[in-house]
């Protein structure tokens, strides 16, 4: 078997969650490494029960779930749990047994919003851990350009040659559209969804305009919203919500949409090498999305927003953490400098600090509260 890249930060998060909560759910797009991570964790648990709902045998084993799961002791892993949403009802009473004879680790590749009723059913009994593609602390800082170009899906990142990574992304996209989405019980023409996905790549990092997208696709506005819900719920697009501050300024209220994985973005835009990326008009947007995903992967993605006013002041990312507000700007430049927009964001939003994340080597101070930070140093950043 090929060597696995260790994912210690994620594994520790999962272990901690298993200690604290009767149910832990690992959520992330297909192929980000959820099953592999669960197997790594399971190695140190006894007894372990594994049910893979992707397999007929796994589904059959859970045909009488109350009985089967009720008898399990130790760690119970249920893979591709979105295939059987009725399980959540069954898990509820099992979580509330005295002495907690079993812990449940659920793996899913669709968000609870897409699979109806899940979040409510297990409210207060479940913790979520996001599993995205590789982050820089896992690949090592020396692999930054490879990670940027190919993205963080393990199979694309680790592929021997650039062409193999490309072929893998191509087949991932086809399988996703033709098999995974229909399997969620969603009826959408694969070709229309593919076109929507490609258009989203062209609009990567821009304010989302449902009406305009719908017009170019020749569908109703609600259909465009539905497509967005699907791709967001399956974790291939990211919808970043706008922050609204109580100011006498008009602020943007629509979300921004990103293709989550930078390799997938490049595949959809037809960018197959670093040199093609460097001369592409979407270079800056690609960096922004890549650095954004890395930041959210490393620092957590709850309480993340962007901010933008009608008059052009902007902040790429606002993170609320420990009662404080931190700003992030993502700049694909050799030596980013202070801008008016950064000044405005600092004073309007009352930010603790702004980090300007860029591809260079050196950290330097731009202002009392503003630091230019190489992406490579992000894994060491602690917000406090």
CB nearer to ligand ADP: pick between 111 and 308: 111
Confirm or reject binding of residue 21 to Mg ion (CB under 5 A): no
Residue nearest to Mg ion (CB): 35
The reply on whether position 146 binds ligand ADP by CB under 6 A is: no
Minimum CB–partner distance for residue 148 and ligand ADP (Å): 18
Nearer to Mg ion, 58 or 379 (CB): 58
333 binds ligand ADP (CB under 6 A): no
**DSSP summary character for residue 360:** S
Question: Segment contacting ligand ADP (CB under 6 A): 32-40, 259-267, 282-290, 361-369?
Answer: 32-40
**For residues 151 and 154, which CB has a smaller minimum distance to ligand ADP in the complex?**
154
Q: Shortest Cβ distance from residue 85 to ligand ADP (Å)?
A: 18
Q: At what angle do helices 190-202 and 221-233 cross, to 10 degrees?
A: 80
Long-range Cβ pairs for the range 238-246 (8 Å, 24+): 238/292, 238/293, 239/208, 240/292, 240/304, 240/305, 240/306, 240/317, 241/304, 241/305, 241/306, 242/305, 242/306, 242/307, 242/308, 243/305, 243/306, 243/307, 243/315, 243/318, 243/349, 245/307, 245/348, 245/349
Closest CB to Mg ion among residues 78, 292: 78
Shortest CB 238 distance to ligand ADP, Å: 17
Site string for ligand ADP, 36-75 (x = CB under 6 A): x---------------------------------------
Stretch that binds ligand ADP, among 34-42, 210-218, 283-291, 312-320 (CB under 6 A): 34-42
* Contact with ligand ADP (CB under 6 A) among 112, 152, 154, 205: 154
Which range, of 29-37, 259-267, 305-313, 346-354, touches Mg ion by CB under 5 A? 29-37
Residue 158 CB, nearest approach to ligand ADP (Å):
6
How many beta carbons lie within 10 A of that of residue 112, not counting itself? 21
CA angle 114, 116, 121 (to 5 degrees): 125
Which of the choices Mg ion, ligand ADP, none does residue 33 contact, using the CB cut-off of 5 to 8 A by kind? ligand ADP
Query: Residues near 364 by Cβ (< 8 Å), separated by ≥ 6?
Result: 371, 372
For CA atoms 339, 341, 345, 348, give the dihedral sign. Answer: positive
Cβ-based nearer residue to Mg ion, 83 or 325: 83
* Smallest distance, Mg ion to C-beta of residue 30, A: 7
112, 183, 202, 226, 268 from 222: Cα distances, Å = 21, 22, 20, 6, 24
C-alpha triplet 146, 379, 342: angle, nearest 5°: 95
Q: Is 35 in the site for Mg ion (CB under 5 A)?
A: yes
Determine the interface stretch with ligand ADP among 15-23, 153-161, 230-238, 262-270 (rule: CB under 6 A): 153-161
Which of the stretches 30-38, 171-179, 192-200, 300-308 binds Mg ion when contact is defined by CB under 5 A?
Answer: 30-38
Count of residues that bind ligand ADP according to CB under 6 A: 14
Determine if 11 is a binding residue for ligand ADP (CB under 6 A).
no
Q: How many residues bind Mg ion (CB under 5 A)?
A: 1
In total, the chain counts a number of residues equal to: 384
ω into 137 cis (within 30 of 0) = no
* Strand ranges inside 41-136, DSSP E: 48-52, 74-79, 102-108, 126-130
Backbone φ and ψ for 354, nearest 5 degrees, come out as: -120, 130
Check binding of 4 to ligand ADP (CB under 6 A): yes
CA-nearest of 104, 89, 148, 102 to 14 is 104
In the bound state with Mg ion, the residue whose beta carbon lies nearer, of 35 and 308, is: 35
Nearest to 242 by CA among 197, 296, 327, 309: 309
User: Does 32 engage in binding with ligand ADP (CB under 6 A)?
Assistant: yes
Which residues are at the interface with ligand ADP (CB under 6 A)? 4-5, 7, 28, 30-36, 154-155, 158
């Amino acid at each position: 078997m090929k060597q696995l890249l260790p994912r210690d930060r994620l594994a520790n998060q999962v272990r901690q969650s298993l200690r604290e909560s009767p149910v832990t759910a690992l959520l992330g797009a297909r192929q980000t490494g959820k099953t592999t991570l669960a197997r790594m964790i399971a190695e140190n648990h006894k007894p372990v029960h594994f049910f893979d709902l992707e397999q007929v045998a796994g589904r059959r084993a859970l045909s009488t779930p109350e009985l089967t799961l009720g008898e399990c002791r130790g760690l119970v892993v249920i893979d591709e749990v979105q295939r059987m949403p009725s399980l959540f009802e069954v898990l509820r009473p099992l979580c509330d047994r005295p002495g907690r004879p079993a812990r449940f680790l659920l793996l899913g590749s669709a968000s609870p919003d897409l699979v109806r009723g899940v979040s409510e059913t297990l409210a207060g009994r479940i913790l979520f851990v996001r599993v995205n593609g590789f982050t820089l602390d896992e690949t090592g800082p020396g692999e930054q350009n490879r990670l940027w170009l190919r993205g963080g899906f393990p199979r694309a990142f680790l592929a021997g040659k650039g062409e193999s990574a490309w072929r893998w992304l191509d087949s991932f996209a086809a399988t996703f559209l033709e098999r995974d989405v229909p399997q969620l019980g969603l009826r959408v023409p694969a070709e229309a969804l593919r076109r929507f996905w490609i258009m989203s790549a062209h609009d990567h990092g821009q304010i989302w305009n449902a009406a305009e997208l719908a017009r170019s696709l020749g569908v109703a506005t609600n259909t465009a919203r539905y497509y967005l819900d699907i791709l967001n719920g399956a974790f291939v697009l990211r919808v970043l919500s706008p922050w609204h501050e109580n100011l006498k300024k008009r602020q943007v209220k629509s979300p921004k949409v990103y293709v989550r994985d930078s390799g997938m973005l490049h595949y959809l835009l037809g960018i197959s090498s670093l040199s093609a990326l460097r001369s592409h008009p979407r270079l800056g947007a690609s960096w922004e999305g890549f650095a954004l995903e890395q930041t959210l992967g490393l620092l957590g993605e709850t309480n993340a927003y962007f901010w933008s006013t009608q008059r052009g002041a902007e902040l790429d990312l606002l993170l609320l953490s420990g009662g404080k507000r931190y700003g992030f700007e993502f700049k694909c430049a050799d030596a980013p400098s202070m801008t008016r927009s950064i000044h405005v964001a600092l004073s309007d939003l009352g930010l603790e600090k702004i980090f300007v994340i860029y591809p260079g080597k050196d950290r330097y101070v731009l202002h009392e509260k503003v630091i230019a930070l190489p992406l490579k140093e992000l894994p060491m950043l602690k917000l406090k």
